[in-house]
Amino acid sequence: MSLFAVRPDSSDSGQLVLAAILAVAGAFLLLPRPRGRWVAGGIAALLVAAVVAGLWIHRHFGEPGADWVGKLLFILFACGAVVFGTVLVAQRNPARGAIAFAFVILSTCGLFLLLAAPFLMAATVIIYAGAIVVTFLFVLMLSAANGPTGENDRSREPLLGSLAGFAFAGLVLFALNQAHATSRADQPEALRKWHGLTPLPTPLITPDERHLLAQAAEDLKQLEADDFYPPTERTHQDRAATITRIEEALGDYSVGLRSAQIEGSTEYGSIHQRLGGFRVDRPADAVLKQTEAIRKDAARVLARVESAMLSPDTAVHDEAKAAVRKLRAEVLLLAGAGELPARNTAGLGHMLYSEHLLSIELAGTLLLVATIGAIAIAHKKGAAA
Amino acid sequence: MIGLWHYLAVAAILFGLGLVGFLTRRNLITMFLCAEMMLQGVAINFAAFARYHGNLTGQVFVLFILAVAACEAGIALALILVLYRRSKTLDVSAWQSLREVGVPPTIDLEPLPPPPEELADPVLPPAGRMPPSAKEAAHV
Protein backbone atom coordinates (compact mmCIF):
# COMPACT_ATOMS: atom_id res chain seq x y z
CA MET A 1 0.00 0.00 0.00
CA SER A 2 1.30 3.42 -0.80
CA LEU A 3 0.23 6.57 0.97
CA PHE A 4 1.19 8.75 -1.93
CA ALA A 5 0.15 8.53 -5.52
CA VAL A 6 3.75 8.61 -6.66
CA ARG A 7 6.16 6.10 -5.30
CA PRO A 8 9.49 7.82 -5.10
CA ASP A 9 12.73 6.02 -5.51
CA SER A 10 13.48 4.80 -2.02
CA SER A 11 16.33 2.52 -2.96
CA ASP A 12 18.85 4.47 -0.92
CA SER A 13 16.79 4.66 2.26
CA GLY A 14 19.47 2.30 3.52
CA GLN A 15 21.65 5.34 3.93
CA LEU A 16 19.09 6.85 6.26
CA VAL A 17 18.85 3.62 8.23
CA LEU A 18 22.63 3.53 8.49
CA ALA A 19 22.68 7.09 9.81
CA ALA A 20 20.00 6.27 12.39
CA ILE A 21 21.84 3.13 13.56
CA LEU A 22 25.12 5.02 13.84
CA ALA A 23 23.39 7.78 15.79
CA VAL A 24 21.84 5.22 18.15
CA ALA A 25 25.24 3.63 18.69
CA GLY A 26 26.83 7.01 19.31
CA ALA A 27 24.13 8.09 21.75
CA PHE A 28 24.33 4.74 23.51
CA LEU A 29 28.08 5.14 23.97
CA LEU A 30 27.79 8.76 25.05
CA LEU A 31 24.88 8.64 27.48
CA PRO A 32 26.07 8.75 31.07
CA ARG A 33 26.34 5.49 33.00
CA PRO A 34 28.06 4.58 36.24
CA ARG A 35 30.73 2.40 34.67
CA GLY A 36 32.05 5.18 32.54
CA ARG A 37 31.47 5.80 28.86
CA TRP A 38 33.50 5.73 25.70
CA VAL A 39 33.40 9.39 24.76
CA ALA A 40 35.71 9.24 21.73
CA GLY A 41 33.84 6.34 20.18
CA GLY A 42 30.46 7.98 20.79
CA ILE A 43 31.52 11.27 19.27
CA ALA A 44 33.04 9.50 16.26
CA ALA A 45 29.87 7.48 15.66
CA LEU A 46 27.66 10.57 15.98
CA LEU A 47 29.89 12.53 13.59
CA VAL A 48 29.77 9.77 11.00
CA ALA A 49 25.99 9.59 11.45
CA ALA A 50 25.71 13.36 10.96
CA VAL A 51 27.82 13.22 7.79
CA VAL A 52 25.80 10.32 6.35
CA ALA A 53 22.47 12.02 7.14
CA GLY A 54 23.76 15.35 5.81
CA LEU A 55 24.82 13.76 2.53
CA TRP A 56 21.42 12.13 2.23
CA ILE A 57 19.64 15.44 2.86
CA HIS A 58 21.91 17.18 0.41
CA ARG A 59 21.28 14.65 -2.31
CA HIS A 60 17.52 14.50 -1.90
CA PHE A 61 16.53 18.00 -0.94
CA GLY A 62 18.88 20.35 -2.60
CA GLU A 63 21.52 21.38 -4.99
CA PRO A 64 23.76 24.18 -3.84
CA GLY A 65 22.73 27.47 -5.32
CA ALA A 66 24.39 30.77 -5.92
CA ASP A 67 23.49 32.14 -2.51
CA TRP A 68 26.69 31.15 -0.75
CA VAL A 69 26.27 33.42 2.23
CA GLY A 70 22.78 32.17 3.00
CA LYS A 71 23.89 28.59 2.55
CA LEU A 72 26.89 29.03 4.80
CA LEU A 73 24.83 30.71 7.51
CA PHE A 74 22.20 28.01 7.31
CA ILE A 75 24.82 25.28 7.67
CA LEU A 76 26.44 27.12 10.56
CA PHE A 77 23.21 27.58 12.51
CA ALA A 78 21.84 24.13 11.72
CA CYS A 79 25.08 22.44 12.79
CA GLY A 80 25.18 24.63 15.91
CA ALA A 81 21.67 23.61 16.90
CA VAL A 82 22.31 19.91 16.35
CA VAL A 83 25.75 19.85 18.01
CA PHE A 84 24.66 21.74 21.11
CA GLY A 85 21.49 19.67 21.27
CA THR A 86 23.65 16.56 21.37
CA VAL A 87 25.75 18.13 24.13
CA LEU A 88 22.57 18.83 26.11
CA VAL A 89 21.47 15.22 25.79
CA ALA A 90 24.84 13.66 26.57
CA GLN A 91 26.22 16.09 29.12
CA ARG A 92 26.50 14.68 32.61
CA ASN A 93 26.53 18.03 34.38
CA PRO A 94 23.04 19.58 34.10
CA ALA A 95 24.34 23.13 34.50
CA ARG A 96 26.54 22.68 31.43
CA GLY A 97 23.53 21.13 29.73
CA ALA A 98 21.54 24.30 30.42
CA ILE A 99 24.32 26.40 28.85
CA ALA A 100 24.27 24.11 25.81
CA PHE A 101 20.52 24.59 25.63
CA ALA A 102 21.05 28.34 25.56
CA PHE A 103 23.31 27.84 22.54
CA VAL A 104 20.68 25.65 20.88
CA ILE A 105 18.27 28.55 21.35
CA LEU A 106 20.74 31.03 19.86
CA SER A 107 21.29 28.79 16.81
CA THR A 108 17.54 28.44 16.37
CA CYS A 109 17.29 32.21 16.52
CA GLY A 110 19.79 32.40 13.68
CA LEU A 111 17.54 30.09 11.67
CA PHE A 112 14.58 32.34 12.49
CA LEU A 113 16.53 35.28 11.17
CA LEU A 114 17.24 33.42 7.95
CA LEU A 115 13.52 32.68 7.73
CA ALA A 116 12.70 36.40 7.80
CA ALA A 117 11.34 36.38 11.36
CA PRO A 118 13.40 38.97 13.26
CA PHE A 119 10.71 39.61 15.86
CA LEU A 120 10.54 35.94 16.70
CA MET A 121 14.30 35.89 17.03
CA ALA A 122 14.26 38.73 19.54
CA ALA A 123 11.34 37.25 21.48
CA THR A 124 12.97 33.83 21.65
CA VAL A 125 16.29 35.22 22.83
CA ILE A 126 14.58 37.27 25.53
CA ILE A 127 12.19 34.60 26.75
CA TYR A 128 14.30 31.48 26.43
CA ALA A 129 17.91 32.47 26.76
CA GLY A 130 17.10 35.41 28.99
CA ALA A 131 14.46 34.06 31.31
CA ILE A 132 13.94 30.33 31.18
CA VAL A 133 17.55 29.20 31.05
CA VAL A 134 18.60 31.60 33.78
CA THR A 135 15.76 30.49 36.06
CA PHE A 136 16.66 26.88 35.58
CA LEU A 137 20.30 27.62 36.23
CA PHE A 138 19.22 29.08 39.58
CA VAL A 139 17.43 25.88 40.49
CA LEU A 140 20.35 23.78 39.32
CA MET A 141 22.80 25.73 41.41
CA LEU A 142 20.54 25.54 44.46
CA SER A 143 20.19 21.80 44.17
CA ALA A 144 23.76 21.06 43.15
CA ALA A 145 24.98 17.70 44.39
CA ASN A 146 28.60 16.87 44.88
CA GLY A 147 29.75 13.50 43.71
CA PRO A 148 28.02 11.12 41.30
CA THR A 149 24.27 10.88 41.69
CA GLY A 150 21.63 8.66 40.23
CA GLU A 151 19.99 11.40 38.22
CA ASN A 152 23.10 12.63 36.46
CA ASP A 153 25.19 9.50 36.09
CA ARG A 154 22.56 6.98 35.14
CA SER A 155 20.41 6.79 32.04
CA ARG A 156 17.03 5.20 31.70
CA GLU A 157 17.08 2.58 28.93
CA PRO A 158 19.81 4.28 26.87
CA LEU A 159 19.57 1.83 23.97
CA LEU A 160 15.79 1.72 23.60
CA GLY A 161 15.39 5.43 24.27
CA SER A 162 17.89 6.54 21.65
CA LEU A 163 16.50 3.95 19.24
CA ALA A 164 13.03 5.45 19.64
CA GLY A 165 14.25 9.01 19.13
CA PHE A 166 16.48 8.44 16.14
CA ALA A 167 14.06 6.03 14.51
CA PHE A 168 11.47 8.78 14.78
CA ALA A 169 13.81 11.35 13.21
CA GLY A 170 14.73 8.94 10.41
CA LEU A 171 11.08 8.17 9.71
CA VAL A 172 10.24 11.86 9.52
CA LEU A 173 13.10 12.41 7.07
CA PHE A 174 11.92 9.46 5.00
CA ALA A 175 8.34 10.78 4.93
CA LEU A 176 9.66 14.23 3.99
CA ASN A 177 11.46 12.68 1.06
CA GLN A 178 8.28 10.92 -0.05
CA ALA A 179 6.26 14.13 0.12
CA HIS A 180 9.08 15.96 -1.63
CA ALA A 181 9.10 13.48 -4.50
CA THR A 182 5.32 13.59 -4.78
CA SER A 183 5.21 17.37 -4.92
CA ARG A 184 7.95 17.28 -7.53
CA ALA A 185 5.90 14.94 -9.67
CA ASP A 186 3.03 17.42 -9.49
CA GLN A 187 5.13 20.13 -11.02
CA PRO A 188 5.16 20.95 -14.68
CA GLU A 189 8.26 19.86 -16.55
CA ALA A 190 9.78 23.32 -16.63
CA LEU A 191 9.91 23.46 -12.87
CA ARG A 192 11.53 20.10 -12.21
CA LYS A 193 14.94 21.67 -12.42
CA TRP A 194 14.14 23.54 -9.22
CA HIS A 195 15.26 20.50 -7.41
CA GLY A 196 16.08 22.21 -4.17
CA LEU A 197 12.98 24.25 -3.75
CA THR A 198 10.23 22.20 -5.19
CA PRO A 199 7.67 22.81 -2.63
CA LEU A 200 4.34 21.39 -1.65
CA PRO A 201 2.34 23.79 -3.81
CA THR A 202 4.36 25.45 -6.54
CA PRO A 203 5.85 28.79 -5.43
CA LEU A 204 4.35 32.03 -6.62
CA ILE A 205 7.65 33.26 -8.04
CA THR A 206 10.73 31.09 -8.33
CA PRO A 207 14.09 32.67 -7.48
CA ASP A 208 15.11 32.46 -11.12
CA GLU A 209 12.08 34.45 -12.18
CA ARG A 210 12.66 36.87 -9.37
CA HIS A 211 16.20 37.45 -10.59
CA LEU A 212 15.04 38.03 -14.15
CA LEU A 213 12.31 40.41 -13.02
CA ALA A 214 14.81 42.41 -11.02
CA GLN A 215 17.06 42.60 -14.07
CA ALA A 216 14.16 43.76 -16.22
CA ALA A 217 13.47 46.47 -13.64
CA GLU A 218 17.12 47.56 -13.89
CA ASP A 219 16.80 47.78 -17.67
CA LEU A 220 13.61 49.75 -17.36
CA LYS A 221 15.53 52.24 -15.29
CA GLN A 222 17.57 53.08 -18.38
CA LEU A 223 14.40 54.10 -20.18
CA GLU A 224 13.75 56.61 -17.43
CA ALA A 225 17.10 58.30 -17.85
CA ASP A 226 17.33 61.57 -19.73
CA ASP A 227 20.10 60.47 -22.03
CA PHE A 228 17.97 57.73 -23.51
CA TYR A 229 15.93 60.20 -25.53
CA PRO A 230 17.16 62.52 -28.31
CA PRO A 231 18.97 64.78 -28.67
CA THR A 232 21.83 62.74 -27.19
CA GLU A 233 24.63 60.97 -28.93
CA ARG A 234 23.17 57.51 -28.39
CA THR A 235 22.44 55.88 -31.68
CA HIS A 236 19.02 54.75 -32.52
CA GLN A 237 20.17 51.17 -32.87
CA ASP A 238 21.52 51.28 -29.36
CA ARG A 239 18.15 52.35 -27.99
CA ALA A 240 16.31 49.78 -30.03
CA ALA A 241 18.65 47.10 -28.69
CA THR A 242 17.84 48.08 -25.10
CA ILE A 243 14.13 47.91 -25.79
CA THR A 244 14.49 44.54 -27.44
CA ARG A 245 16.40 43.28 -24.43
CA ILE A 246 13.61 44.37 -22.12
CA GLU A 247 11.03 42.79 -24.34
CA GLU A 248 12.96 39.57 -24.29
CA ALA A 249 13.51 39.68 -20.57
CA LEU A 250 9.85 40.29 -19.86
CA GLY A 251 8.77 37.87 -22.52
CA ASP A 252 11.09 34.99 -21.95
CA TYR A 253 10.63 34.05 -18.43
CA SER A 254 7.01 34.48 -17.79
CA VAL A 255 4.98 37.50 -18.34
CA GLY A 256 4.34 36.53 -21.89
CA LEU A 257 4.91 39.78 -23.66
CA ARG A 258 6.17 38.02 -26.72
CA SER A 259 3.37 35.50 -26.80
CA ALA A 260 0.87 38.33 -26.57
CA GLN A 261 2.13 39.58 -29.89
CA ILE A 262 1.16 36.38 -31.62
CA GLU A 263 -2.31 36.97 -32.95
CA GLY A 264 -4.97 34.52 -31.88
CA SER A 265 -2.58 32.54 -29.75
CA THR A 266 -3.23 31.93 -26.08
CA GLU A 267 0.30 30.97 -25.26
CA TYR A 268 1.25 32.14 -21.81
CA GLY A 269 4.49 32.70 -20.00
CA SER A 270 5.92 30.33 -17.45
CA ILE A 271 4.29 31.95 -14.43
CA HIS A 272 0.93 31.32 -15.99
CA GLN A 273 1.85 27.80 -16.95
CA ARG A 274 3.05 27.04 -13.48
CA LEU A 275 0.27 28.62 -11.47
CA GLY A 276 -2.67 28.35 -13.85
CA GLY A 277 -3.68 24.76 -13.33
CA PHE A 278 -2.00 24.09 -10.02
CA ARG A 279 -3.01 26.77 -7.60
CA VAL A 280 -6.44 28.20 -7.05
CA ASP A 281 -5.77 30.22 -3.91
CA ARG A 282 -6.07 33.97 -3.63
CA PRO A 283 -2.36 34.92 -3.69
CA ALA A 284 -1.82 32.87 -6.84
CA ASP A 285 -4.84 34.52 -8.40
CA ALA A 286 -3.44 37.94 -7.55
CA VAL A 287 -0.09 37.06 -9.11
CA LEU A 288 -1.80 35.87 -12.28
CA LYS A 289 -3.69 39.14 -12.50
CA GLN A 290 -0.46 41.04 -11.93
CA THR A 291 1.31 39.21 -14.75
CA GLU A 292 -1.65 39.83 -17.01
CA ALA A 293 -1.55 43.54 -16.22
CA ILE A 294 2.21 43.74 -16.76
CA ARG A 295 1.88 41.94 -20.06
CA LYS A 296 -0.60 44.50 -21.32
CA ASP A 297 1.16 47.51 -19.81
CA ALA A 298 4.56 46.50 -21.11
CA ALA A 299 3.36 46.29 -24.69
CA ARG A 300 1.69 49.68 -24.37
CA VAL A 301 4.57 51.39 -22.57
CA LEU A 302 7.28 50.09 -24.87
CA ALA A 303 5.33 51.22 -27.92
CA ARG A 304 5.01 54.64 -26.36
CA VAL A 305 8.74 54.80 -25.62
CA GLU A 306 9.52 53.85 -29.19
CA SER A 307 7.39 56.67 -30.51
CA ALA A 308 8.87 59.07 -27.97
CA MET A 309 12.36 58.17 -29.17
CA LEU A 310 11.50 59.59 -32.56
CA SER A 311 10.14 62.87 -31.33
CA PRO A 312 12.24 65.76 -30.08
CA ASP A 313 9.46 67.02 -27.81
CA THR A 314 10.46 66.77 -24.12
CA ALA A 315 6.82 66.69 -22.96
CA VAL A 316 6.36 63.43 -24.85
CA HIS A 317 9.56 62.13 -23.27
CA ASP A 318 8.28 62.95 -19.81
CA GLU A 319 5.04 61.13 -20.41
CA ALA A 320 6.91 58.08 -21.62
CA LYS A 321 9.19 58.22 -18.59
CA ALA A 322 6.23 58.39 -16.22
CA ALA A 323 4.68 55.36 -17.90
CA VAL A 324 7.98 53.47 -17.63
CA ARG A 325 8.22 54.32 -13.94
CA LYS A 326 4.79 52.89 -13.33
CA LEU A 327 5.65 49.73 -15.22
CA ARG A 328 8.85 49.36 -13.25
CA ALA A 329 6.94 49.59 -9.96
CA GLU A 330 4.61 46.86 -11.18
CA VAL A 331 7.51 44.64 -12.17
CA LEU A 332 9.17 45.12 -8.79
CA LEU A 333 5.92 44.32 -7.01
CA LEU A 334 5.61 41.12 -9.00
CA ALA A 335 9.21 40.23 -8.18
CA GLY A 336 8.39 40.52 -4.48
CA ALA A 337 5.18 38.49 -4.62
CA GLY A 338 5.06 35.64 -2.15
CA GLU A 339 7.62 37.21 0.14
CA LEU A 340 6.97 38.08 3.74
CA PRO A 341 6.47 41.78 4.44
CA ALA A 342 9.69 43.65 5.15
CA ARG A 343 8.14 45.26 8.24
CA ASN A 344 7.93 42.06 10.17
CA THR A 345 6.98 43.46 13.56
CA ALA A 346 4.30 45.74 12.17
CA GLY A 347 2.84 42.93 10.09
CA LEU A 348 2.89 40.55 13.03
CA GLY A 349 1.22 43.08 15.31
CA HIS A 350 -1.44 43.82 12.74
CA MET A 351 -2.12 40.14 12.29
CA LEU A 352 -2.20 39.45 16.03
CA TYR A 353 -4.58 42.25 16.88
CA SER A 354 -6.89 41.80 13.94
CA GLU A 355 -7.21 38.12 13.18
CA HIS A 356 -6.02 36.50 16.39
CA LEU A 357 -7.41 38.80 19.04
CA LEU A 358 -9.27 36.07 20.91
CA SER A 359 -6.17 33.88 20.93
CA ILE A 360 -4.18 36.76 22.42
CA GLU A 361 -6.71 37.09 25.20
CA LEU A 362 -6.61 33.36 25.80
CA ALA A 363 -2.81 33.34 25.91
CA GLY A 364 -2.87 36.19 28.42
CA THR A 365 -5.36 34.31 30.58
CA LEU A 366 -3.19 31.22 30.34
CA LEU A 367 -0.16 33.16 31.53
CA LEU A 368 -2.13 34.56 34.47
CA VAL A 369 -3.43 31.14 35.46
CA ALA A 370 0.07 29.70 35.14
CA THR A 371 1.46 32.40 37.43
CA ILE A 372 -1.19 31.73 40.06
CA GLY A 373 -0.68 27.99 39.67
CA ALA A 374 3.08 28.24 40.06
CA ILE A 375 2.69 30.26 43.24
CA ALA A 376 0.05 27.90 44.61
CA ILE A 377 2.17 24.83 43.87
CA ALA A 378 5.48 26.09 45.18
CA HIS A 379 3.97 27.75 48.22
CA LYS A 380 5.34 26.28 51.46
CA LYS A 381 2.55 25.73 53.96
CA GLY A 382 2.84 28.10 56.88
CA ALA A 383 5.92 29.77 55.47
CA ALA A 384 4.15 32.90 54.29
CA ALA A 385 2.36 33.41 57.60
CA MET B 1 19.74 27.52 -2.45
CA ILE B 2 18.41 26.48 0.91
CA GLY B 3 14.78 25.55 0.59
CA LEU B 4 11.87 24.60 2.77
CA TRP B 5 12.95 20.97 2.99
CA HIS B 6 16.27 21.72 4.60
CA TYR B 7 14.59 23.56 7.43
CA LEU B 8 12.09 20.74 7.87
CA ALA B 9 14.97 18.23 8.03
CA VAL B 10 16.84 20.23 10.67
CA ALA B 11 13.64 20.58 12.69
CA ALA B 12 13.03 16.82 12.51
CA ILE B 13 16.58 16.09 13.72
CA LEU B 14 16.24 18.57 16.59
CA PHE B 15 12.93 17.02 17.59
CA GLY B 16 14.45 13.53 17.51
CA LEU B 17 17.40 14.62 19.66
CA GLY B 18 15.03 16.16 22.19
CA LEU B 19 13.04 12.93 22.24
CA VAL B 20 16.19 10.91 22.94
CA GLY B 21 17.08 13.21 25.81
CA PHE B 22 13.60 13.18 27.27
CA LEU B 23 13.40 9.40 27.19
CA THR B 24 16.84 8.57 28.50
CA ARG B 25 17.88 11.25 30.96
CA ARG B 26 16.74 11.11 34.55
CA ASN B 27 17.40 14.62 35.79
CA LEU B 28 14.07 16.47 35.87
CA ILE B 29 15.58 19.72 34.63
CA THR B 30 17.47 18.09 31.77
CA MET B 31 14.26 16.34 30.75
CA PHE B 32 12.44 19.65 30.77
CA LEU B 33 15.12 21.31 28.64
CA CYS B 34 14.96 18.42 26.16
CA ALA B 35 11.18 18.92 25.90
CA GLU B 36 11.82 22.59 25.19
CA MET B 37 14.25 21.57 22.46
CA MET B 38 11.48 19.53 20.84
CA LEU B 39 9.30 22.66 20.95
CA GLN B 40 12.07 24.56 19.18
CA GLY B 41 12.06 21.98 16.40
CA VAL B 42 8.34 22.53 15.91
CA ALA B 43 8.84 26.30 15.95
CA ILE B 44 11.38 26.02 13.12
CA ASN B 45 8.79 24.09 11.13
CA PHE B 46 6.22 26.82 11.62
CA ALA B 47 8.62 29.62 10.72
CA ALA B 48 9.78 27.76 7.61
CA PHE B 49 6.23 27.26 6.40
CA ALA B 50 5.45 30.91 7.11
CA ARG B 51 8.40 31.93 4.95
CA TYR B 52 7.41 29.47 2.30
CA HIS B 53 3.76 30.47 2.02
CA GLY B 54 4.54 34.14 2.37
CA ASN B 55 2.10 34.84 5.17
CA LEU B 56 2.63 35.46 8.83
CA THR B 57 0.27 32.89 10.32
CA GLY B 58 3.09 30.48 11.08
CA GLN B 59 5.01 33.15 12.94
CA VAL B 60 1.92 33.98 14.99
CA PHE B 61 1.75 30.31 15.88
CA VAL B 62 5.36 30.40 17.09
CA LEU B 63 4.52 33.38 19.28
CA PHE B 64 1.79 31.36 20.96
CA ILE B 65 4.22 28.48 21.37
CA LEU B 66 6.52 30.91 23.18
CA ALA B 67 3.72 32.02 25.50
CA VAL B 68 2.76 28.44 26.30
CA ALA B 69 6.42 27.53 26.82
CA ALA B 70 6.78 30.35 29.33
CA CYS B 71 3.72 29.09 31.25
CA GLU B 72 5.08 25.59 31.08
CA ALA B 73 8.45 26.72 32.43
CA GLY B 74 6.84 28.45 35.40
CA ILE B 75 4.67 25.49 36.33
CA ALA B 76 7.46 22.97 35.73
CA LEU B 77 9.82 24.97 37.92
CA ALA B 78 7.27 25.03 40.74
CA LEU B 79 6.65 21.29 40.42
CA ILE B 80 10.35 20.48 40.33
CA LEU B 81 10.85 22.61 43.44
CA VAL B 82 8.10 20.77 45.32
CA LEU B 83 9.41 17.38 44.25
CA TYR B 84 12.94 18.35 45.26
CA ARG B 85 11.75 19.47 48.68
CA ARG B 86 10.09 16.14 49.29
CA SER B 87 12.75 13.76 48.02
CA LYS B 88 15.92 15.87 48.12
CA THR B 89 16.83 14.71 44.63
CA LEU B 90 16.07 15.68 41.05
CA ASP B 91 15.91 12.05 39.97
CA VAL B 92 12.61 11.05 38.31
CA SER B 93 13.14 7.48 39.42
CA ALA B 94 12.61 8.63 42.99
CA TRP B 95 8.95 8.88 42.02
CA GLN B 96 8.60 5.51 40.40
CA SER B 97 6.22 4.40 43.11
CA LEU B 98 3.64 6.37 41.14
CA ARG B 99 3.95 3.92 38.23
CA GLU B 100 1.09 1.83 36.94
CA VAL B 101 0.09 -1.41 38.60
CA GLY B 102 1.93 -4.36 37.08
CA VAL B 103 4.90 -2.44 35.74
CA PRO B 104 8.13 -3.78 37.22
CA PRO B 105 10.20 -1.25 39.13
CA THR B 106 13.47 0.06 37.80
CA ILE B 107 16.30 -1.16 39.96
CA ASP B 108 19.75 0.31 39.50
CA LEU B 109 22.15 -2.60 39.54
CA GLU B 110 25.43 -0.93 38.73
CA PRO B 111 26.88 0.81 41.73
CA LEU B 112 27.78 4.44 41.39
CA PRO B 113 31.46 5.25 41.43
CA PRO B 114 32.66 6.53 44.77
CA PRO B 115 32.52 10.28 45.17
CA PRO B 116 35.78 12.07 44.65
CA GLU B 117 37.71 12.35 47.86
CA GLU B 118 37.50 15.73 49.34
CA LEU B 119 40.81 17.38 49.82
CA ALA B 120 41.69 17.75 53.44
CA ASP B 121 42.03 21.25 54.75
CA PRO B 122 45.61 22.40 54.75
CA VAL B 123 47.17 22.07 58.20
CA LEU B 124 49.62 24.65 59.26
CA PRO B 125 52.55 23.57 61.39
CA PRO B 126 52.23 24.75 65.00
CA ALA B 127 53.70 28.07 65.51
CA GLY B 128 57.17 28.13 67.05
CA ARG B 129 58.06 29.61 70.30
CA MET B 130 58.01 33.27 70.57
CA PRO B 131 61.44 34.44 69.71
CA PRO B 132 63.24 35.78 72.71
CA SER B 133 63.37 39.45 72.73
CA ALA B 134 65.24 41.79 74.85
CA LYS B 135 63.23 42.90 77.76
CA GLU B 136 62.14 46.32 77.18
CA ALA B 137 63.90 48.50 79.55
CA ALA B 138 61.37 50.87 80.78
CA HIS B 139 62.43 53.23 83.33
CA VAL B 140 59.56 55.26 84.31
Report the C-alpha gap between A271 and A337 in whole angstroms: 12
pLDDT for residue A262 = 43
Q: What is the pLDDT along chain A (385 residues), one digit of tens a residue?
A: 445 555 556 667 888 899 999 999 999 998 888 887 888 999 999 999 999 999 888 888 765 555 788 888 999 999 999 999 999 999 888 889 999 999 999 999 999 999 989 999 999 999 988 888 888 888 788 777 777 788 888 888 889 999 999 999 999 999 888 877 776 665 555 455 544 444 456 677 777 777 778 888 888 888 787 777 766 666 777 777 878 777 776 765 445 444 444 444 444 566 776 676 667 777 788 888 888 788 778 878 888 888 887 777 888 888 888 888 888 888 888 887 777 787 889 999 999 999 999 999 999 999 999 999 999 998 877 655 4
Query: Which of B27, B44, B71 is the closest to A151 by Cβ?
Result: B27
Whether ipTM > 0.90 holds is no
**Cβ–Cβ pairs < 8 A, chains A and B:** 306
Q: Which residues contact A143 (CB under 8 A, 6 or more apart)?
A: B84, B90
Contact across the interface for A366 and B3, Cβ inside 8 Å: no
Handedness of CA A92, A98, A100, A105 (dihedral sign): positive
Beta carbons of B7 and A111 less than 8 Å apart: yes
Residues of B in contact with A173 (CB under 8 A): 9, 12-13
Considering only the beta carbons, identify the residue of A86, A120, A367 that sits closest to B71: A367
DSSP A120-165: HHHHHIIIIIIIIHHHHHHHHHHT--SS--HHHH--SSHHHHHHHH
3-class DSSP string for A216-280: HHHHHHHHHCHHHCCCCCCCHHHHHHHHHHHHHHHHHHCCCHHHHHCCCCCCCCHHHHHHHCCCC
The answer to whether the CB atoms of A139 and B60 lie below 8 A apart is: no
Q: Which residue of B has its CA nearest to A124?
A: B66
Contact A176, B12 (CB under 8 A): yes
Compare CB distances from B24 to A120, A161, A199 and report the shortest one's residue. A161
* pLDDT attached to residue A8: 59
Q: What is the pLDDT of residue A338?
A: 74
- How high is the pLDDT of residue A255? 55
Please tell me the predicted confidence (pLDDT) of residue A219. 82
Please give the CATH number for the structural domain made up of B4-90: 1.10.287.3510
Residue A196: the pLDDT is 43
Tens-place pLDDT, residues B28-57: 999 999 999 999 999 999 999 998 888 889
Amino acid at position A335, single letter: A
Nearest-neighbour CA in chain A from B122: distance (Å): 20
In angstroms, what separates the C-alpha of A233 from chain B's closest C-alpha? 43
Side chain identity at residue B40, one-letter code: Q
* Shortest alpha-carbon distance between residue A235 and chain B (Å): 41
Q: What is the pLDDT of residue A170?
A: 93
